Amino acid sequence: MTCSWTIHFNLTDVNTVLRIVKKGTISTDRYSKLLVGPPGGIDLFTIDQSPVYSDAYTQEPEILINFTSSWGSDWYNQEHEWHLDVSIVNVYWKNLTFFKHQSIYNQNDCNNFTAYRFNSDRDDQTLELFLTEVTYFNDAMESIFFIYDSSNFTNFLGRYDSLAPNDTKWFTSTTRTFTVFYAQTGDYKYSTELVYRLKEENTANCLGTNLVYARPNEVLYKIGSANGQCMFTVLIPYQQIVTNFGDRLFGVLNITSLYFKSNSTAKIVYNPIEDNYDNKILDFNQDTAQLYSQSIVYGQLISILIPGNSELEIGLKSQEYIPNLYKEFDERAMGLYMSPHYSDDTINLDDVPEMNLTLKCTQGMAKFMVTIYYADIKNNSLLTFYADSNIIAEYNGKVHANTLFITATTFMIKFNTNSTQTTSKSMK
């Protein structure tokens, strides 16, 4: 048996949206199905099993409901009572004008029952939206995002559920505008990250996938560049860290391996359209790339600018924050050392009261060359360098492009603070 209904609406207020909620159960028989959506468009939801409820939000002027039932083998053993609740709800709007190559937007920036317009005025570019879950919050409650290819709740593209296993989704706009509606169903948690970007600019000259999400397990990526620069971007999930001042969130990325084939130099940056001291993370070339394996980088979104006619192979994984790092080497080593504050100026210094790095040469004495690329050490904070337990230098204030030459078996960097201020940039 098949039944169809058509519902017409006249919503004149942009702040009011039609909410449709299905309650009850539908037979799990493979021939039973409920479809709700605009004529000729993508269904707002399709149900052919028996979830407790499903909901949808729309401003379409017309909604078509189709229900098909059957007398399957399980008919007599199941309940089959269902109904649709239709109501009008108020939503809040926030416009986000697109002005960068790509930007990250976090669930912590979202307010419940708020619609966000991601808009681009570039008619020569395609607007893309990438959503993925943060996998480190086992107690996170469900958050659902509804995606529309328009400036309102029409032209539905799909939904994103933060608790769906390994759920990562791409959406492409044909109107240069996304409406993203956020519906939170549980306690507030950081569990979803969104990246919106201009496709043509971000994928130019890239031979392979150039936007990836770091996972807890190591994943190896290979990407090449054509005649021009390719931008390879990594989205880093949050890590929840317990401190004396409460739970804090950092993005921690381990560059587990790095191989580079090129006649030029590559650069790792936070923002590819800025050029300043606190934006660049690291430069490497074909000879030095492997020496930067196991480097730890903090942040949410980093980009590797690959020069033309080059090949990059990089191993990545997200990991827990480790305040005290220890490494041994026998002949030659290079590395990067930075504080979480360098990537995020909202992190309070007290969130990471002390961190240090210890390097030991297993062959005896070694010559260390340390360059402080950029540091901004605030009041009551101290950046200290040790050679075999002896203090050789201490810094407070701003330091840039300062190089130390040290001969020792063991070399240590310690960053300590008792400050309650928030630092703009700390140390790298």
Cα distances (Å, whole numbers) of residue 157 to 9, 45, 114, 119, 361:
20, 11, 18, 16, 56
Residue 425 forms part of a structural domain = no
**148 touches 44 (CB < 8 A):** no
CA gap 402, 379 in Å, rounded = 20
Q: How is residue 299 written in tokens?
A: 């942040």
**Residue 51: its pLDDT value, please?**
52
**Residue 50: its pLDDT value, please?**
47
Please tell me whether residues 311 and 332 are part of one structural domain.
Answer: no
DSSP 141-163: PPEEEEEESSSSS-SEEEEEETT
Please tell me whether residues 184 and 166 are part of one structural domain.
Answer: yes
**Residue 2: its pLDDT value, please?**
80
**C-alpha radius of gyration, the chain, whole number:** 26
Residue 428 forms part of a structural domain = no
Over the range 8-25, which residues count as b (16 or more CB within 10 Å of their CB) and which as e? eeebeeeeebbbbebeeb
Q: Total structural domains in the chain?
A: 4
Please tell me whether residues 194 and 246 are part of one structural domain.
Answer: no
**134, amino acid identity:** V
Residue 422 forms part of a structural domain = no
Residues in the chain: 428
Please tell me whether residues 309 and 343 are part of one structural domain.
Answer: no
Residue 427 forms part of a structural domain = no
Please tell me whether residues 39 and 134 are part of one structural domain.
Answer: no
Please tell me whether residues 81 and 128 are part of one structural domain.
Answer: no
Please tell me whether residues 349 and 396 are part of one structural domain.
Answer: yes
Residue 424 forms part of a structural domain = no
Per-position pLDDT tens, the chain of length 428: 788 888 888 888 889 999 888 877 666 555 567 778 888 877 777 765 545 457 889 999 998 888 877 655 454 555 556 778 888 888 888 887 654 556 665 555 556 668 888 888 888 889 999 888 765 545 555 678 899 999 999 999 988 877 665 568 889 999 999 999 987 655 545 567 788 888 888 899 999 999 998 888 899 999 999 999 999 999 888 776 666 566 667 788 999 999 999 999 999 998 776 666 567 888 999 999 998 988 999 888 899 999 999 999 999 999 888 888 898 988 788 888 888 777 766 666 566 667 889 999 999 999 999 988 888 887 778 889 999 989 999 988 888 878 999 999 999 999 886 643 333 333 44
Please tell me whether residues 281 and 358 are part of one structural domain.
Answer: no
CATH number, domain with residue 28: 2.60.120
Please tell me whether residues 380 and 354 are part of one structural domain.
Answer: yes
Pick from 126, 308, 128, 305: which is nearest to 231 by CA? 305
Residue where one domain finishes, among candidates 89, 116, 131: 89
Please tell me whether residues 311 and 335 are part of one structural domain.
Answer: no
Note down the domain range covering 380. Answer: 324-417
Pick from 163, 111, 164, 159: which is nearest to 141 by CA? 163
Please tell me whether residues 290 and 219 are part of one structural domain.
Answer: yes
CATH number, domain with residue 96: 2.60.120.290
Helices (H), 209-323: none
**79 touches 31 (CB < 8 A):** no
Residue 259 forms part of a structural domain = yes
Q: pTM higher than 0.85 for the full model?
A: no
CA gap 386, 392 in Å, rounded = 6
Residue 186 forms part of a structural domain = yes
The Cβ of residue 142 has, within 10 Å, a number of other Cβ atoms equal to 14
Residue where one domain finishes, among candidates 318, 334, 358: 318
Residue 423 forms part of a structural domain = no
Residue where one domain finishes, among candidates 264, 285, 318: 318
Place of tokens 């098909």: 68
Please tell me whether residues 231 and 301 are part of one structural domain.
Answer: yes
